[in-house]
């Protein structure tokens, strides 16, 4: 519904070339709905699933706004979804003024290509002779999906799939191409499967968002002895008191009645205020809980929406009755697959030699001031040194003790003394560090420091500020 | 523990209560303590896809083990590999493959078939009689009317393995014409085509829910209800009625003639304790005593149609037996202690027994 949900973004998805679209595979219409639902045709763009939600603390994996999904329900298709990404390749942008059409979509082994052109990079399985991919082809990172041939040089420029995810070619469209001239612009749409995994985010319509922390198989979920139902989703009772989302509890009960009746439930807010006070005098004082409780009782369920449930693992009755009902749940578009970051070693900033930031570049996550304070408070000095120095821009510099400069030292290659050379001891060259200021190679020490410190010294030197180090043994 | 079934269940036409028993339960570990019990099964209701029975004289662990095995370990067949040749429908390839996987297939053969990962007669390409069944689907819509592609369009290479015919659902209202009742896969408009080859394999619900033969398996403890007649007589007729109505399910009734409260359906009681709370609220605690019998279970089993519900139960017992055999076979061996540790002691009847054996 909102901008965060993974729902049904449009009806003409088949023919569109949006940059990025999220889509859920088998959406449902909510059982509990407002009067405006039909008015605004929201059913044309459904966004979620009527999940059987049990409110209980089970196995501990639903602590702190985490939630448990029924693995078997997910395997049956609940919350399955895809991301569609479109790439548009425009050859007119490669064209220089005055030139004719030089680049065309083609494979490099196509007839008319330059003789002796490099063989297509084993890409005939992925790219057809027209230089475009086969629809339905499954691709992994590095597979080619488009080939552009320069008809003058005969060289082919191949676009390869980026990112570690498996993709499927969903759709290829020629854009704005007249009948005469060769095709110059195409849109290629890739489809990425995004089925629920641990770390994905879900939410009810009451803002009760949670992160999937575990998927339990059907047999491990608690079950109701009367109906044999296992919940699709388990949410922790602690999610309610402080947030006071009574609406969700009411929806659970109301939709449960609706499901039993086979009818949609009117969940419009402020119904009592709007309704004609004379017509429904009798029901005016009745609370919603009473209204739905009575109906639940008629169907042989507990008045308060609870059910006696059995542990799926042990088969024993649980000591508490469990509040269980139907809540419309949505999948949100924040998925771990798009967000996780890992780094052991990798790209560094060439100026500071510190790790770069950003997921795209395999960068690290900033270890900031507050994190530093935390480690200091713990007295974890070695760990602090490891994070901020060893794993960052560890550097050793030669420092002249006499003048205290770390910029004036430089290695000098000298001829070895002829005596040593005569004895045939290795190479006749040896390298020494000398200080250009003191013109001496004595009193030069190797000091470990962050590389940014050397950078700082250089920057200061450029401003005519001399930075000296005092080297001592204490 | 070992189950031996004396009687067998066959056919869907059984009259309602059938004594199926006694389950001869043998004690597999010799020991001084004797825990021999003879669980019995009494079938109450039997349909192709539904069975309701009582399981008596055993305990929760066995009942729950059977429930878990029925849901997750009784093998069936399901489409596992799909090769798309042409798909111009509105649903993408993975979507259709997933839908095909969820179609229940008649799986009477599943118990004797091989798992394709254990099959050494083939390389899993589908042309193997021991582990795979091939299906073909080739539909094209040539008319202006929307064409429903259903499970009936799947052509099986084995006449005994076909998509479940759910025409028994005739009595369920809201369905279309009987001939259109296959499982809907996708709808095609003019010019769209779907052509594919699919391979069904044996599997269990633990690997993927599509292999689970059970729609629902639930059991409840049999309740034993004792009404305190003396205390009940202190209630007026109105109070009796009020008390009886406080139960969400119809367990009690006020007899119109004798005006006495009688139990009409003890099993309708769901352990919700509403009537106990009501009795307390009326100032009559102890009006009724309800004990759940820890050794009697009422099972309700619904099948997806892949195998008959009764067969599902029998297969579950077989699988449980095999699992227990695996434990038993290894308990005498050298590795048993490594494998089972503490459990090994239990299996030999505790530590003292172990010592006496060593002496012998
Ligand atoms: Zn110096
Ligand atoms: Zn085979």
Domain chopping of chain A, boundaries: 32-80+197-331, 83-194, 341-391, 393-474
CA of A388 to the centre of ligand 1 (A): 29
Find residues 254-273 of chain B whose CB sits inside 8 Å of chain A: 268, 270-272
B58: three-class secondary structure by DSSP:
coil
Average pLDDT in the A180-194 region? 88
CA of A400 to the centre of ligand 1 (A): 5
Sign of the four-CA dihedral A169, A171, A177, A180: positive
Percent of chain A past pLDDT 90, that is, above it, reads 47
A32-80+197-331 belongs to which CATH class?
mainly beta
The reported pLDDT for the residue numbered A370 is: 94
Domains A341-391 and A393-474 share a fold: yes
The reported pLDDT for the residue numbered A181 is: 76
Instruction: From chain B, pick out residues whose CB is under 8 angstroms from the CB of A308.
Output: 270-272
Nearest CA in chain A to B84: A136
Percent of chain B past pLDDT 90, that is, above it, reads 30
The reported pLDDT for the residue numbered A82 is: 92
Q: Do B248 and A224 touch (CB under 8 A)?
A: no
Residue of A10, A69, A75 best to disrupt the B interface, most CBs of B under 10 A: A75
Catalogue all structural domains in chain B, each as residue range(s) with its CATH number. 35-74+212-222+294-360 (3.30.1360.10), 77-211 (2.170.120.12), 229-286 (3.30.70)
Nearest CA in chain A to B83: A136
Task: Please tell me if residue A317 touches chain B, with a CB cutoff of 8 Å.
Answer: yes
Picking from B119, B260, B83, B299, the residue whose alpha carbon sits closest to that of residue B202 is B119
Average pLDDT in the A101-128 region? 66
Q: Do B68 and A312 touch (CB under 8 A)?
A: yes
- Give the lowest-confidence range in A308-317, A392-401, B185-194, B270-279: B270-279
Tokens of A277: 């006070």
The total of other beta-carbon atoms located within 10 Å of residue B79's CB is 23
The reported pLDDT for the residue numbered A467 is: 92
CATH number attached to the domain at A83-194: 2.40.50.150
Nearest CA in chain A to B220: A225
Average pLDDT in the B291-318 region? 89
Q: For A341-391, which CATH superfamily applies?
A: RNA polymerase alpha subunit dimerisation domain (3.90.1800.10)
A384: three-class secondary structure by DSSP:
helix
Q: Please give the CATH topology (third level) of the domain spanning A393-474.
A: DCoH-like (3.90.1800)
Picking from A382, A399, A398, the residue whose alpha carbon sits closest to that of residue A390 is A382
In this complex, the residue of B84, B212, B272 whose CB is nearest that of residue A302 is B272
Structure confidence by residue, pLDDT tens digits, B95-125 = 999 999 999 999 888 888 888 888 877 776 6
CA of B230 to the centre of ligand 2 (A): 70
Task: Please tell me if residue B58 touches chain A, with a CB cutoff of 8 Å.
Answer: no
In this complex, the residue of B90, B95, B302 whose CB is nearest that of residue A14 is B90
Residue B237 to residue B246: CA distance in whole angstroms: 14
Average pLDDT in the A296-318 region? 89
Q: Do B93 and A168 touch (CB under 8 A)?
A: yes
Instruction: From chain B, pick out residues whose CB is under 8 angstroms from the CB of A312.
Output: 68
Residue of B64, B96, B221 best to disrupt the A interface, most CBs of A under 10 A: B64
- Give the lowest-confidence range in A87-96, A339-348, A423-432, B180-189: A423-432
Instruction: From chain A, pick out residues whose CB is under 8 angstroms from the CB of B84.
Output: 136
Nearest CA in chain B to A14: B90
Instruction: From chain B, pick out residues whose CB is under 8 angstroms from the CB of A306.
Output: 272
Alpha helix (H) residue ranges in B5-125: 60-72, 93-101
CA distance B79 to chain A (A): 13
Sign of the four-CA dihedral B329, B334, B337, B339: negative
Tokens of A286: 């009745």
Tokens of B212: 């689970």
CA distance A13 to chain B (A): 10
Q: B291 and B232 in contact (C-beta within 8 Å)?
A: no
CA of A431 to the centre of ligand 1 (A): 18
Classify residue A407 by its DSSP letter: S
Grade residue A417 by pLDDT with cuts at 50, 70 and 90.
low
CA distance A302 to chain B (A): 6
Classify residue A226 by its DSSP letter: T
**What value does the mean pLDDT of chain A take?**
86
A413: three-class secondary structure by DSSP:
strand
With a cut of 60, say whether residue B19 has pLDDT above it. no
Instruction: From chain B, pick out residues whose CB is under 8 angstroms from the CB of A316.
Output: 60
Q: B285 and B279 in contact (C-beta within 8 Å)?
A: yes
* A438 alpha carbon, closest ligand: 1
Task: Please tell me if residue A195 touches chain B, with a CB cutoff of 8 Å.
Answer: no
């Amino acid at each position: 519904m909102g901008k965060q949900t993974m729902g049904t973004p449009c009806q003409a998805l088949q023919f569109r070339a949006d940059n990025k679209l999220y889509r859920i595979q088998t959406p449902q219409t909510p059982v509990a709905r407002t009067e405006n639902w039909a008015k605004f045709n929201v059913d044309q763009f459904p966004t979620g699933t009527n999940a059987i939600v049990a409110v209980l603390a089970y196995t501990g994996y639903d602590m702190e706004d985490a939630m448990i999904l029924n693995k078997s329900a997910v395997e049956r298709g609940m919350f399955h979804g895809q991301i569609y990404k479109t790439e548009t390749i425009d050859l007119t942008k490669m064209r220089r003024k005055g030139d004719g059409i030089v680049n065309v979509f083609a494979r490099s082994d196509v007839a008319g290509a330059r003789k002796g052109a490099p063989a297509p990079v084993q890409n005939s399985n992925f790219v057809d002779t027209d230089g475009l991919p086969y629809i339905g082809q499954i691709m992994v990172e590095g597979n080619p999906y488009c080939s552009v041939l320069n008809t003058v040089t005969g060289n082919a420029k191949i676009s390869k799939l980026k990112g570690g995810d498996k993709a499927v070619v969903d759709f290829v469209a020629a854009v704005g191409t007249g009948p005469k001239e060769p095709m110059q612009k195409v849109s290629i749409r890739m489809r990425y499967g995004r089925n629920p995994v641990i770390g994905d985010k879900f939410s009810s319509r009451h803002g009760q968002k949670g992160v999937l922390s575990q998927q339990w198989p059907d047999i491990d979920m608690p079950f109701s002895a009367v109906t044999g139902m296992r919940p699709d989703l388990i949410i922790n009772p602690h999610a309610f008191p402080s947030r006071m989302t009574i609406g969700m509890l009411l929806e659970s009960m109301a939709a449960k009645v609706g499901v039993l009746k086979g009818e949609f439930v009117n969940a419009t807010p402020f119904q009592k205020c709007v309704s004609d006070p004379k017509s429904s005098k009798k029901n005016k004082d009745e609370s919603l809980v009473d209204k739905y409780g009575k109906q639940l009782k008629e169907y042989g369920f507990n008045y308060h929406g609870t059910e006696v449930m059995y542990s799926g693992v042990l088969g024993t009755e649980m000591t508490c009755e469990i509040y269980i009902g139907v809540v419309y749940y949505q999948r949100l578009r924040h998925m771990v697959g798009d967000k996780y970051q890992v780094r052991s070693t990798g790209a560094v900033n060439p100026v500071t030699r510190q790790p770069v930031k950003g997921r795209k570049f395999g960068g690290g996550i900033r270890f900031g001031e507050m994190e530093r304070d935390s480690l200091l408070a713990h007295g974890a000095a070695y760990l602090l040194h490891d994070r901020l120095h060893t794993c960052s821009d560890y550097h050793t510099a030669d420092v002249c003790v006499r003048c205290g400069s770390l910029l004036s030292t430089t290695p000098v290659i000298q001829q070895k003394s002829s005596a040593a050379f005569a004895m045939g001891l290795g190479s006749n060259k040896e390298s020494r560090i000398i200080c250009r200021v003191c013109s001496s190679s004595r009193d030069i020490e190797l000091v470990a420091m962050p590389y940014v410190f050397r950078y700082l010294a250089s920057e200061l030197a450029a401003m005519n500020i001399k930075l000296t180090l005092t080297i001592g043994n204490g | 523990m070992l189950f031996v079934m004396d009687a067998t269940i066959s056919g869907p036409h059984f009259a309602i209560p059938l004594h199926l028993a006694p389950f001869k339960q043998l004690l597999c570990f010799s020991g001084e303590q004797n825990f021999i019990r003879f669980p019995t099964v009494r079938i109450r209701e039997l349909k192709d896809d539904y069975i309701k029975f009582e399981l008596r004289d055993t305990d929760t662990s066995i009942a729950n083990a059977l429930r878990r095995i029925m849901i997750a370990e009784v093998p069936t067949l399901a489409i596992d590999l799909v090769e798309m040749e042409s798909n111009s429908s509105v649903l993408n390839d993975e979507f259709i493959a997933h839908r095909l996987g969820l179609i229940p297939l008649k799986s009477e053969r599943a118990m004797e078939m091989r798992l394709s990962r254990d099959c050494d007669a083939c390389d899993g390409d589908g042309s193997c009689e021991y582990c795979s069944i091939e299906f073909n689907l080739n539909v094209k819509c040539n008319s202006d009317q929307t064409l429903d592609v259903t499970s009936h369009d799947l052509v099986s290479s084995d006449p005994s393995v076909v998509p479940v015919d759910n025409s028994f659902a005739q009595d369920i209202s809201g369905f279309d014409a009987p001939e259109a009742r296959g499982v809907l896969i996708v709808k095609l408009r003019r010019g769209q085509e779907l052509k594919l080859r699919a391979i069904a394999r044996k599997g269990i619900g633990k690997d993927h829910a599509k292999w689970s033969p059970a729609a629902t398996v639930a059991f409840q403890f049999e309740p034993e209800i004792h009404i305190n007649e003396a205390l009940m007589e202190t209630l007026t007729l109105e109070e009796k009625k009020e008390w009886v109505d406080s139960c969400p399910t119809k367990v009690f009734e006020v007899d119109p003639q004798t005006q006495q409260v009688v139990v009409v359906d003890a099993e309708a009681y769901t352990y919700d304790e509403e009537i106990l709370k009501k009795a307390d609220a009326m100032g009559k605690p102890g009006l009724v005593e309800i004990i759940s019998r820890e050794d009697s279970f009422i099972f309700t089993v619904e099948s997806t149609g892949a195998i008959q519900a009764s067969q599902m139960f029998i297969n579950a017992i077989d699988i449980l037996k095999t699992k227990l055999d695996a434990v038993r076979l290894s308990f005498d061996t050298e590795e048993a202690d490594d494998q089972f540790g503490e459990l090994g002691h239990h299996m030999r009847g505790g530590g003292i027994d172990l010592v006496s054996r060593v002496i012998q």
